[in-house]
Structure 1
Amino acid sequence: MADALTGRRVAVLAADGVEQVELVQPRQALVDQGADVELVSLHDGRIQAMNGDIEPADQFTVDREVSKVGVDDYDALVVPGGTVNPDNLRSDGDAVRFVRDFVARGKPVAAICHGPWILVEADVVRGRTLTSYPSIRTDIRNAGGVVVEEEVVTDHGLTTSRNPDDLPAFCERIVREFAG
């Protein structure tokens, strides 16, 4: 199944403060299955990843700015977590529109840890079942979502996971969902 995603274009939407492991592992899992993966961010240049919220990790080169792409450019979307990353993303109108358009078009979207914050901002969780990092579960409920305690959940094309410990299950699921 090493080519399950050949011909698929996937956007990884991330900004400064992204949790490095939540960016690197899903991206590699997708590339390993043949996907063409691009890092989309709020600005060009590089973004600063973190190990946790206080330890700087590596920097990653941005492939495209979110203000210059659209949902038709990609087949699927991944939003990694970290506390700062999704907070930066949900403050940007272009990023919020990008996520909202993906869900509206029925294209698969995946978010892990704090990543669902932008799903809340995009108003796409109402009536859907999700999981997330515990500290944002109230936000999801207040936005009309149903929160469950599971390592990975998929509801009508929206896949979510709780934290980096769930990455093996998350990566396996997004490959399957994005191939479908």
Structure 2
Amino acid sequence: MITLQDKTVAFLVAPEGVEQIELTGPWQAVREAGGAPRLVSTRSGRVQAYNHLERGDSFPIDAEVGGSDTTCYDALVLPGGVANPDALRQNPAAVAFARSFFDDGKPVAAICHAPWTLIEADVVRGRTVTSWPSLHTDLANAGANWVDEEVKICTGGPNVLVTSRKPDDLPAFNQALVSEFAKA
């Protein structure tokens, strides 16, 4: 059995909105593996989740990126949806927070539109990734090799990067991120 015992995993989200299943699915996978998921955002309060365009649940934020020390976390998950990564990539503190996991060689997992934040952090150059198909050109322009696969584990860089395309890929994404986070 794979375990994330004693591992704390940051989930970086924008309070304006995140795709609910892309937050709760990986969150549950981390928790079931014995890890400690923490919700990190650009401000305190709560994050609003969405089920596509319909308002979903809201979740309490554990820490703000501006005052959060990345040494407290063993890995990073970037949930998708469109609004979440679009807001995060415009926030310098959020971009720096995401980039620090690459600088420190810690594993990162990103699903759907979440690689937009990684493009802004300039950490996809030379990496093989997947995403929601509409990001193909953005990722290629940022120097990444885009593939259309359920889940892609890229080990060719300073850290492990796990990417997936969409909510339908969550079972494979969750399994891959738990496995890779456990190795770190």
**Native 8 Å contact 2:42 2:65 kept in 1:** yes
- What do residues 31-78 of structure 1 show as CA deviations (whole Å, max 9, x unaligned)? 0011011000011010111111x2111111000011111221100000
Matched residue of 1:177: which SS? helix
What are the Cα deviations for residues 122-159 of structure 1, in whole angstroms up to 9, with x where unaligned? Answer: 00000000000011111100000000010000112011
Q: TM-score, normalised by structure 1?
A: 0.97
Is 1:145 the counterpart of 2:148? The answer is no
Judge conservation of contact 2:133–2:148 (CA < 8 Å) in 1: no
Indicate yes or no: 2:177 matched with 1:178: no
Contact 2:20 2:50 in 1 (8 A): yes
Gaps of 5+ in 1: none
8 Å Cα contact 2:127-2:154 kept in structure 1: yes
Partner deviation per Cα, 1:81-137 (whole Å, 9 max, x = no partner)? 000000011111111001111012110000000011000000000000000001111
3-state secondary structure, aligned to 1:38 = strand
Q: Is the 8 A contact 2:129 2:154 kept in 1?
A: yes
Q: Identity of aligned pairs, percent?
A: 54
Counterparts of 1:107 and 1:12 in 2: how far apart (Å)? 14
CA contact (8 A) 2:132 2:166 kept: yes
Distance 2:64 2:164 in 1: 25
Separation of aligned partners in 1, 2:178 and 2:93: 26
Question: SS in structure 1 opposite 2:180?
Answer: helix
Which amino acid in structure 1 is aligned with residue 114 of structure 2? G
**Which residue among 161, 165, 178 is the counterpart of 1:162?**
165
| Structure 1 stretches of at least 4 aligned residues deviating more than 4 Å after TM superposition | none
Contact kept in structure 1, 2:78 and 2:110, CA below 8 Å: yes
The residue identity in structure 2 corresponding to 1:64 is: A
What's the secondary structure of 1:165's corresponding residue? helix
Q: Which residue in the other structure is 2:112 paired with?
A: 113
- The number of aligned residues is 178
The residue that corresponds to 1:122 in the other structure is 121
Give 1:121's aligned amino acid.
E
Amino acid at match of 2:79: P
**Distance in 1 between the 2:102 and 2:153 partners?**
13
Matches within 5 A, 1:87-98: 87-98=86-97
TM-score by length of 2: 0.95
Aligned AA (1:21): I
Rounded to whole Å, the distance in 2 between the matches of 1:169 and 1:11 is 20
